[in-house]
Amino acid sequence: MAKKNKNTGYRAALTGARGTLRILIYIFGIVLILYLGKITYSFGYDVFAQKPVASSESKGQDVTVIIKEDTSTYGIGKQLSEKGLIANGPVVFWVQVRLSDYYGKLEPGSYILNTYQTVDEMLEILSKQNTEGQPSEDEDTSGESGGDDSDDAAIPEHAQEGTQEGGE
């Protein structure tokens, strides 16, 4: 009979330990799901809630960015992040470009961007769909517009070089 009591106590302890372990695994799983949900929500918010770096237009600063021919989207995002034009980093920028209408349309060149612009406004400029206030590509020519009605000839040379604030 002593054997039976010893076996019963062991089984009770083992059952209690299994129950405790099972509860700890469930708690760990719930905490992990909440943590991953928080990270996912934060990433999604960074991608879709486009806020400029500067808090107001008066605090925005013009920054000249030069995009080279073989620069990847991630490389452009890294450059914009280093210059203080985007706050969320190159991975978020890469996702924003992939989800935008500007994917595959970013072109090399010299651009004047502002810290008060959203990512969509910057992408519009980087894809050359909005060239207002941007440096002219054909600075070597003496104001020839090639037949199009471009306003590039009306922009003073110092504004094209980005040494002073470009006007709107």
Per residue in 39-95, pLDDT (tens digit) is 999 999 988 888 888 877 778 888 899 999 888 999 999 999 999 899 888 999 999
Rounded to 10 deg, the angle between the 90-99 and 73-82 helix axes is 130
Q: Is the pLDDT of residue 7 over 80?
A: no
What gap in Å lies between CA 44 and CA 38, rounded to an integer? 10
For every residue of 110-166, which 3-state class applies, written as one string? EEEEECCCCHHHHHHHHCCCCCCCCCCCCCCCCCCCCCCCCCHHHCCHHHHCCCCCC
The type of residue at 99 is: L
% pLDDT > 70, the chain? 77
